[in-house]
Amino acid sequence: MDAPNAVEGMTVIPTGAALGAEVRGIDLSRPLPRRTVAALRGALLDRCVIFFRGQRLGDTDQVRFTNYFGKAEVHVRDMPDRPVKEILLVSNVRENGRAIGALGDGEIGFHSDLAYMPKPGTISVLHAVEVPDTGGETRWGSGYAAYDALDAATKERLKGLRATHRHPDTPLNPPEVVDHPVVCTHPETGRKALYVTPLFTRSVVGLGESESRDLISFLTAHVARPEFLWTHRWRVGDLVMWDNRPTMHGRGSFPPDRRRLLKRTQVFNDAAPVE
C-alpha cells in the first residue's frame, strides 16, 4: 500500500489559464513526506497558484502545512483573541456586535500582499470554512505573463524604475514610504514579473507627477487584462496557496447577509524584491 500523501498519488491539473492548478490526491490534515513537499513547491513555482478541494483542516494543520514552505508568521493586522496566533480570519461574520475577522464583504482591488512593507509577502494560504452561495470569488493575475507580453521598448523603459506602495488604510503602513522595482526578478525561478497593482502602487520614483500617473495607469490596466487572469470560485473545504511575488489578486463583493469565513496563514519578510 502506498504511504499516505506519497508523491506518486498526487496529480497536478493546470487550469488552462495563465496561472493556477488543482492538486489532487493529497490530504493536508496529515503530514507530508519530503518528496511531496518538493513536488508541491515545484507546482507552486510553475503555476503560481495551486488549490486543493475538500480539505478538512484544523488550525494547527494549516499552520503545519504552511511551515513546509517557510515560517508561518503573525499577520500585521491587529486581531484580538486569536486561538492560533498565525491564523488571520478573513470574514464578514459578526458575533456579539463585533466583527470576528477582517476585510468584510466589499470588493477588494488587485494587490500583492504586503507590498507596502519593505519585505512583502512570499506565500499566502487561504482555507475556506464558510462561503456565500453567490459572489466572493477571488481572481489572480500573473505578473510573469503581463511582463512577457510587453513590447521590447516598454521593457527597456521600465529597467531600473522603482514605484512606491502604500496601503489605503494609513495605520497599516510603516513610517517610511516603501518602494520596490517595477519589474522584479523571482529569486527561485529567475523569471521577471511586473510588480505594480491598482490598490497599492502610488508613484514611480524619479518621474514627474503626470508621467508617473500615466505609466501606472497603463501598467495597472495591462496587468489586469483577461488573458493574464484566473478566477477561483470557492467551495467549502478549498485550500488555495499562492506565490505572492509574481502575482496579484483581488476579491469580488458578496451580499452582506451571506456568511463568509476563510482562514489565512502567510509567509513574509523573507527578502526585499530585486530587479
Q: 83-140: per-residue pLDDT in tens?
A: 789 999 999 999 888 888 889 999 999 999 999 999 998 999 999 999 999 999 999 9
pLDDT > 70? residue 2: no
Q: How confident is the model at residue 76 (pLDDT cuts 50, 70, 90)?
A: confident
Q: How confident is the model at residue 18 (pLDDT cuts 50, 70, 90)?
A: very high
Residue at grid coordinates 490598490: 199
Domain regions of the chain by residue span: 7-103+118-142+230-268, 143-223
pLDDT > 90? residue 1: no
Q: How confident is the model at residue 78 (pLDDT cuts 50, 70, 90)?
A: low
Non-local CB neighbours of 60 within 8 Å, separated by 6+ positions: 84
Q: Point out which residues pair with 49 in neighbouring strands.
A: 242
Non-local CB neighbours of 136 within 8 Å, separated by 6+ positions: 105, 234, 251, 252, 253, 254, 258, 260
Q: Is the alpha carbon torsion for 64, 65, 71, 77 positive or negative?
A: negative
Whole-number average pLDDT of the chain: 94
Non-local CB neighbours of 43 within 8 Å, separated by 6+ positions: 12, 21, 23, 50
pLDDT digits (tens, 9 = 90+) for 216-259: 999 999 999 999 999 999 999 999 999 999 999 999 999 999 99
CA distance 46 to 191: 11
- Retrieve residue 103's grid coordinates: 476585510
Top-level CATH class of 7-103+118-142+230-268? alpha beta
- Cβ contact 40:47 at 8 Å: no
pLDDT of residue 4: 87
CA angle at residue 239 from 227 to 49, to 5 degrees? 30
The pTM for the full model equals 0.94
